[in-house]
């Protein structure tokens, strides 16, 4: 009896050690796993609230807040309040007065390390999700007039949760393969394209618009009859679009014809979403899929 208990304990210990080892190995390659949460206080009075929260380019975060703060005696939550023209001159003109905003700094606690290319972003009263544009540390502030922070009081409690890991690094020469369905208006590939990289696209297979069979190059439009959703491309041509998130409302207005072969350097970072260039109202009569292979070439 005793022997079997001690054996079990030994196995449990070994199992725990193995888990610790796996955790250490995995944490060496990525900063913080999805699911990690941080809670910090953002003080109305402080021009720079360095949070020491690491943001990882391409990873997605959820922001939630609790509490209120005051500009002199005016109370607000993280959404702040609309500017009064000529009177309010907040630090960031395009946001509300006393709105809770975020920025990315290369080094925590170093105000000279602001990463301008990551921009200033809305956090507000929370319920907000965002994909980080750059690596760095989150710095937060109330959007007050830069000269009048001293008369502020209170703090907002901010909880940041990493809800999606950044896509893995994509080495030069490495490929990814996805299938694009003819009858889907949005094929979310979940592939993040990087503006600093160049990709080669190669699509094989065929698909159908009703009974008309074609490949990823599609076929020329018949004037008046064919009204594809993007007039720049062939009917049923494989088209790529860049989205800031994997959601229908997150289209960036950047698109490119892929066809069977294409080399492309995206003008901005974003997720690749694909479709067959059909009439927007007539996707349900399509069938078939093409297989798209994407290789990073630079
Ligand atoms: Ca103030
Ligand atoms: Ca159709």
For residue 104, the CA-to-ligand 1 centroid distance in Å is 23
Name the CATH code of domain 37-164 (choices 1.20.1070.10, 1.20.200.10, 3.20.20.70, 2.60.120.430).
2.60.120.430
- Among 72-76, 99-103, 112-116, 212-216, the minimum mean pLDDT is found in 112-116
Radius of gyration of the chain (CA): 25
Q: What are residue 226's phi and psi, to 5 degrees? A: -85, 125
Ligand with the closest atom to the CA of 45: 1
- Which residues keep their CB under 5 angstroms from ion ligand 1? 71, 144, 148, 151-152
Ligand with the closest atom to the CA of 80: 1
Domains 37-164 and 175-296 share a fold: yes
For residue 117, the CA-to-ligand 1 centroid distance in Å is 27
For residue 278, the CA-to-ligand 2 centroid distance in Å is 6
Q: CA torsion sign, 54 to 106 to 110 to 124?
A: negative
For residue 90, the CA-to-ligand 1 centroid distance in Å is 9
Range 197-221 average pLDDT? 97
CATH class assigned to 175-296:
mainly beta
pTM tops 0.75, yes or no: no
State the number of CA atoms in the 13 A half-sphere of 220 facing the CB.
2
| Higher local confidence (pLDDT), 235 or 7 | 235
- Among 47-56, 69-78, 240-249, the minimum mean pLDDT is found in 240-249
Going from N- to C-terminal start, the domains of the chain cover 37-164, 175-296
Ligand with the closest atom to the CA of 283: 2
Ligand with the closest atom to the CA of 151: 1
pLDDT at 119: 87
For residue 294, the CA-to-ligand 2 centroid distance in Å is 26
pLDDT at 29: 37
For residue 112, the CA-to-ligand 1 centroid distance in Å is 23
State the number of CA atoms in the 13 A half-sphere of 214 facing the CB.
21
Residue 236 pLDDT > 60, yes or no? yes
Pairing relationship of beta strands 121-122 and 100-105 according to DSSP bridges: antiparallel
For residue 124, the CA-to-ligand 1 centroid distance in Å is 17
For residue 220, the CA-to-ligand 1 centroid distance in Å is 62
The full DSSP string for 22-83 is HHHHHHHHSSS-TT-EEEEEEETT-S-EEEEEEE-TT-EEEEEEE--EEETTEEE-TT-BPP
Percent of the chain residues past pLDDT 70, beyond the cut:
89
Residue 7 pLDDT > 60, yes or no? no
- Give residue-wise pLDDT tens across range 119-131: 899 999 988 899 9
d(CA 137, CA 152): 24
pLDDT at 22: 44
pLDDT at 248: 86
Burial environment of residue 199 by CB neighbours within 10 A (0 to 12, 13 to 18, 19 or more): buried
């Amino acid at each position: 009896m005793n022997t079997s208990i001690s054996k079990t304990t030994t196995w449990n210990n070994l199992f725990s050690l193995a888990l610790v080892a796996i955790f250490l190995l995995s944490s060496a390659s990525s900063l913080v796993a999805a699911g990690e949460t941080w809670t910090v206080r953002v003080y109305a009075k402080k021009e720079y609230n360095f949070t020491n929260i690491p943001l990882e380019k391409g990873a997605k975060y959820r922001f939630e807040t609790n509490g209120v703060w005051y500009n002199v005696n005016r109370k607000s939550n993280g959404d702040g309040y609309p500017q009064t023209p000529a009177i309010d001159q907040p630090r960031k003109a395009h946001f509300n007065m006393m709105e809770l905003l975020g920025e990315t700094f290369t080094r925590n606690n170093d105000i000279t390390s602001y990463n301008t290319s990551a921009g200033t972003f809305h956090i507000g009263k929370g319920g907000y999700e965002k994909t980080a544009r750059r690596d760095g540390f989150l710095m937060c502030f109330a959007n007050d007039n830069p000269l009048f922070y001293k008369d502020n009081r209170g703090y907002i409690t901010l909880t940041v949760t990493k809800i999606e890991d950044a896509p893995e690094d994509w080495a030069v020469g490495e490929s990814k393969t996805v299938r694009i369905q003819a009858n889907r208006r949005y094929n979310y590939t979940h592939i993040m394209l990087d503006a600093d990289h160049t990709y080669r696209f190669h699509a094989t297979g065929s698909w159908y618009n009703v009974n008309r069979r074609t490949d990823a190059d599609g076929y020329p439009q018949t004037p008046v009859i064919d009204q594809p959703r993007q007039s720049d491309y062939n009917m049923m041509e494989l088209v790529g679009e860049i989205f800031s998130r994997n959601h229908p409302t997150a289209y960036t207005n950047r698109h490119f014809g892929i066809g069977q072969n294409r080399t492309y350097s995206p003008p901005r970072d974003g997720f690749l979403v694909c479709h067959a260039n059909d009439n927007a109202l007539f996707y349900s009569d399509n069938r078939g899929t093409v297989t798209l292979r994407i290789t990073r070439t630079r």
